[in-house]
Chains A and B, each alone.
Chain A
Amino acid sequence: DAGVTQSPTHLIKTRGQQVTLRCSPKSGHDTVSWYQQALGQGPQFIFQYYEEEERQRGNFPDRFSGHQFPNYSSELNVNALLLGDSALYLCASSLDKRQFFGPGTRLTVL
């Protein structure tokens, strides 16, 4: 049984560009949450998707958007990238409250 998977592993973009990150949840999980983790800090909650809708959102601007597909997989989109968007982006899936994390996508913005 595969756990949470994310793609790509690493990504380099330049300021102003747009990026899409992908997440496949653990088998049987229907809820996906996204987090941003800057170096040396704890993960910061971006938003959560359930039944293809954004259910909760953290303190992130509208440049951050997402989508959940009928198969429960999810995408995180970030527009107009800033240098400060460089971070590890983590996806977590859950069926109840217990969230399981993927390995993350390391985004570097130059």
Chain B
Amino acid sequence: GESVGLHLPTLSVQEGDNSIINCAYSNSASDYFIWYKQESGKGPQFIIDIRSNMDKRQGQRVTVLLNKTVKHLSLQIAATQPGDSAVYFCAENIWVGNRDDKIIFGKGTRLHILP
């Protein structure tokens, strides 16, 4: 497996403000990107995805931006709420042919909401 640190970077945001979580990916062959939210003791929950032929996609209160030139992905959460507190992972899908894909997760960012 890949080497990752034990301490997740933390982003602290005031309730009601916008949050921006950033992620760098590594593989130029990645064709699909996903953001997941993971609350304590639970499995990752799908938030939003984007294909490599797009540079922006919007959902409900969330926006994902993709910059393929610098291999950078970001997740913007509008009007952050206490329920947004979680660890957020970006993931890249590497297509290796036919139906064969594997997803590689980034290191994760802990989002902490300040009252």
Using CB atoms and an 8 Å cutoff, list the residues of chain A in contact with chain B: 4, 31, 33, 35-36, 39-45, 48, 50, 55-56, 58-60, 90, 92, 97-104
Q: B17 within 8 Å of A by Cβ?
A: no
Known: A98-B34, A99-B34. A40 touches B101 (CB 8 A): no
Cβ contacts under 8 Å, B42 to chain A: 103-104
15 extra A-B contacts, CB within 8 A, seeds A42-B107, A101-B43: A4-B43, A36-B1, A42-B89, A42-B106, A43-B44, A45-B104, A55-B100, A90-B43, A90-B44, A97-B49, A98-B46, A99-B46, A100-B46, A101-B46, A102-B43
Report 14 cross-chain contacts, Cβ distance below 8 Å, ordered by A residue.
Answer: A33-B103, A40-B6, A40-B8, A41-B4, A42-B89, A42-B106, A42-B108, A44-B105, A48-B100, A55-B99, A56-B101, A90-B43, A100-B46, A104-B42
Size bracket, chain B contacts: 20 to 34
Cβ contacts under 8 Å, A90 to chain B: 43-44
CB pair A97 B102 closer than 8 Å: no
Cβ contacts under 8 Å, B89 to chain A: 42-43
- Kindly state the separation between the CA atoms of A60 and B46 in the bound complex, as whole angstroms: 25
Contact with A along B78-112 (1 / 0, CB 8 A): 00000000000100010010011111111110000
CB pair B6 A41 closer than 8 Å: yes
Q: B26 within 8 Å of A by Cβ?
A: no
User: Which B residue sits closest to A46, measured CB to CB?
Assistant: B1
> Which residues 37-59 of B have a CB within 8 angstroms of A?
42-46, 49
User: Which A residue sits closest to B101, measured CB to CB?
Assistant: A97
- Kindly state the separation between the CA atoms of A43 and B102 in the bound complex, as whole angstroms: 12
